[in-house]
Structure 1
Amino acid sequence: MEQLTQFAPFLLMFVVIYFFMIRPQQKKAKNEKEFESTLKVGDKIITKSGLHGKVAELADTTVIIETMAGKLKMERSAISMEMSAALNKKQ
């Protein structure tokens, strides 16, 4: 019984870390994957580096973005979910 009371603070600390750090990160990653899979040609997007453009072509893991400077090929994961959603709400 004494051993259980010794490990109780560590167990409680792990539970708190899980619910406040690990679980929200997993939910965010799931939402980003969902966002990447729902992209379609013609969507206006902003990349995580700040480039604005419109989706011209889609591949399995890459996307070709049409910008004012031309076309760029990028990874789907480089597209910012939050910024693109905010951009599409404005219009």
Structure 2
Amino acid sequence: MMLNVFWNTLALQGGFGNWGGLVLPLGFLLIFYFIVWVPARRRQKDFQTMVEALKKGDRIVTTGGLYGEIVSVDTSTVILKIADSVKVKIAKSAIGSLEGEGDKGENR
């Protein structure tokens, strides 16, 4: 009831003045920010923390779907053992998740 009185008073007085047309779009932007951007930044931060904590022996899945065990870690690359005598060098940005985390939906 009080909210209706408030809105009716604003309508009679000319609303929010020149800012009245911006209230709804700004509200949508605020909602969009908390629904989309904040969780995306949190996922990116969690992913970056996971990549920085990688060590020899961790089992990972690449974004291309290769499963393997980390043999060595450099600043921007990882050497991945995908079979007994097969080792490949991949960029850290190509890492999708740790092998067990893909089922939980925690990968990028």
Q: Give the structure-1-normalised TM-score.
A: 0.86
Root-mean-square deviation (CA, aligned residues, Å) is: 1.8
Q: Distance in 2 between matches of 1:79 and 1:73?
A: 11
Select the residue among 78, 85, 88 that pairs with 2:94. 78
Q: Distance in 1 between matches of 2:101 and 2:23?
A: 44
Query: 1:63-87, CA deviations, whole angstroms, 9 ceiling, x for partnerless residues?
Result: 0001116110001121112x52337
**What's 1:63 paired with?**
78
Bigger relative contact order (CA 8 A; separation at least 6): 1
Unaligned runs of 5+ residues in structure 1 are: none
Aligned length: 87
**Percent of aligned pairs with the same amino acid:** 26
Q: Give the structure-2-normalised TM-score.
A: 0.73
Q: Which has the larger radius of gyration?
A: 2
* Amino acid across the alignment from 2:86: G
